[in-house]
């Protein structure tokens, strides 16, 4: 039986090009910035049922395209920025009805680095309230839908960007990841999603104030080369001298790697059969390609899950308690969603554990690094089970149930956020209902290069499905 899908690929100036190909066409003059901008606007309008766009900036994008004053590798390529990043002249809504709609007075330093690559910003993409959950479902607006199956979640928290890239509305879009928020929607929507090493890109203003900055920014793409080219170009405008450079990567590496395979989580939760099959099939493919794959385990304390949850809840408490100070665009605590309020209460009941929690999470990098004394890369699922239907993690679910479901679903992603290490989601599996299944490659601190080279190799061996091809 055919599934209720939605894509907007068509024979226009965007075609089926990824961001890299489109940038080349723009540079050669075979298409104009105005043509691709109008095509992307038309596609975004046709993709409206996905509920992935929160704020449109079409008029400004048209003006910029007319002037064609773009510079950078992706000059003129249409894109979106997640709606938790400040853009001058647009409000920042954070996916919450509690936020005021006053336009921001300045553009975030992270957005400046992003736009320096030449992207033409068409608007802002959706997220659940403050990015606190793994499905882009909001209490006050319609949920963001998965274009592969409209009844299912697009993941979160960068769900709007993922849905619109997968559907073909734009070739590339911004996301950020504080517990899996790039990798989870990439897995749900059949995309490439790299969570980079802590500090690889410029640090958001809010991240500088956190006791442990667990958030990394990046992109959702349909091809490995788009992700690789984005990070290569990002190093031109900002280079963290404490990290080895990624540099330009354009294909697989020659070195054969020792890869550790972990299918079940440190929390002891079993991985569903379909996800397990996808990860094990990837392990076999890597072995067939000449890599050495052994069963392994990431050595993190059993209390890690509790510590990370408490940290996450602490962030929700800060929002609830200090929202009027944190958000100059306006804040109404009475409009906060049930999950944010529930997490804030959770923290209040346990706040005395904060010093111990911070101490343990700061040790995560060392614990995580021990794995890589034996392995070059770790292969794991992105998520413990296949993408759920909308409502499974929605705001109508009671707090305790939602929390239990969320912790089990996302058990594989937070370790990289606490440790600050890189990980990439690749669309290498397929569920029985046709939805994508993501497979995760985890790397050493600062070693995005190895992950991207391996991702290129896997993409060549098993080309990724595109929605208009199924």
What domains are defined for the chain?
19-469 (3.90.1300.10)
First and final C-alpha spacing in the chain: 13
Distances (CA, A) of 263 to 6, 163, 383: 32, 27, 10
* Active-site residue identified among 153, 157, 320, 421: 157
Instruction: Quickly list H helices, 85-204.
Output: 109-115, 159-166, 183-189
pLDDT at residue 2 in the model: 62
Give the whole-angstrom CA distance, residue 6 versus residue 467.
8
Tokens of 228: 């690789």
CB neighbour list of residue 29: distance below 8 Å, 6 or more residues apart: none
* Active-site residue identified among 17, 79, 82, 161: 82
Give the whole-angstrom CA distance, residue 116 versus residue 176.
17
Residue 82 falls in the annotated catalytic set: yes
Q: Which of 195, 215, 193, 194 is nearest to 204 (CA)?
A: 215
Residue whose entry in the numeric block shows the structure tokens 């209490």: 139
pTM of the complete model: 0.98
Assess contact for 261 and 284: CB atoms under 8 A. no
Torsion-angle region of residue 411: left (phi > 0), alpha (psi -120 to 50) or beta? alpha
Residue 2 falls in the annotated catalytic set: no
Cis peptide bond upstream of 157, omega within 30: yes
pLDDT at residue 243 in the model: 98
Torsion-angle region of residue 265: left (phi > 0), alpha (psi -120 to 50) or beta? beta
pLDDT at residue 236 in the model: 93
Gyration radius (Cα) of the chain, Å: 20
* Active-site residue identified among 17, 125, 135, 181: 181
Estimate the crossing angle of helix 448-461 against helix 273-288, to 10 degrees. Answer: 90
Report which DSSP code applies to 463: P
Instruction: Quickly list H helices, 77-182.
Output: 109-115, 159-166
Residue 157 falls in the annotated catalytic set: yes
Tokens of 7: 């894509």
Average pLDDT per consecutive 10 residues, the chain (470 residues; last block may be shorter)? 86 98 98 98 98 98 96 98 98 98 96 98 98 96 98 98 99 98 98 98 88 96 98 95 97 98 88 98 98 91 93 98 94 97 98 97 91 95 98 97 97 96 98 98 98 98 96
């Amino acid at each position: 039986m055919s599934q209720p899908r939605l894509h907007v690929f068509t024979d226009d100036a965007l075609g089926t090009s990824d961001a890299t190909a489109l940038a080349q066409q723009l540079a050669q003059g075979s298409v104009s910035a105005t043509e691709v901008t109008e095509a992307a606007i038309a596609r975004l309008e046709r993709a409206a049922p996905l509920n992935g766009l929160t704020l449109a900036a079409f008029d400004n994008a048209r003006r910029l395209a007319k002037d064609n004053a773009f510079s950078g590798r992706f000059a003129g390529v249409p894109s979106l920025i997640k709606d938790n990043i400040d853009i001058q002249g647009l409000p920042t809504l954070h996916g919450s009805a509690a936020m005021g709609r006053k336009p921001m007075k300045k553009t975030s330093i992270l957005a400046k680095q992003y736009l320096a690559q030449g992207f033409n910003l068409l608007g802002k993409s959706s997220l659940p309230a403050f990015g606190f959950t793994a499905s882009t479902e909001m209490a006050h607006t319609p949920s963001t839908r998965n274009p592969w199956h409209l009844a299912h979640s697009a993941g979160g928290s960068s769900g709007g960007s993922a849905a619109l890239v997968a559907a073909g509305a734009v070739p590339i879009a911004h996301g950020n990841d504080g517990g899996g928020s790039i990798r989870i929607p990439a897995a749900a929507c059949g995309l490439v999603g790299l969570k980079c090493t802590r500090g690889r890109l410029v640090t958001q203003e809010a991240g500088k104030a956190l006791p442990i900055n667990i958030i990394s920014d990046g992109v959702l793409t349909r091809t490995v080369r788009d992700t690789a080219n984005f990070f290569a170009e990002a190093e031109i405008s900002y280079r963290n001298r404490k990290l080895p450079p990624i540099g330009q990567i354009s294909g697989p590496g020659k070195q054969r790697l020792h890869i550790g395979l972990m299918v079940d989580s440190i929390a002891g939760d079993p991985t569903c059969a379909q996800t397990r099959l996808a990860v094990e099939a990837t392990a076999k493919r890597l072995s067939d390609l000449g890599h050495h794959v052994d069963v392994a385990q990431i050595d993190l304390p059993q209390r890690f899950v509790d510590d990370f949850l408490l940290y996450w809840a602490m962030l929700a408490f800060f929002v609830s308690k200090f929202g009027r100070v944190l958000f100059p665009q306006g804040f109404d605590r009475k409009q906060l969603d049930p999950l944010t309020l529930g997490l804030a209460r959770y923290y209040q009941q346990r706040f005395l554990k904060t010093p111990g929690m911070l101490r343990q999470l700061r040790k995560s990098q060392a614990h995580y690094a021990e794995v890589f004394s034996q392995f070059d890369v770790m292969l794991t699922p992105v998520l413990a089970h296949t993408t759920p239907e909308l409502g499974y993690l929605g705001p109508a679910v009671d707090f305790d149930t939602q929390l239990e479901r969320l912790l089990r679903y996302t058990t594989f992603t937070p370790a990289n956020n606490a440790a600050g290490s890189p990980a990439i989601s690749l669309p290498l599996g397929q569920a029985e209902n046709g939805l994508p299944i993501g497979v995760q490659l985890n790397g050493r601190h600062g070693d995005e290069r190895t992950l991207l080279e391996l991702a290129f190799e896997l993409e060549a061996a098993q080309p990724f499905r595109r929605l208009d091809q199924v």
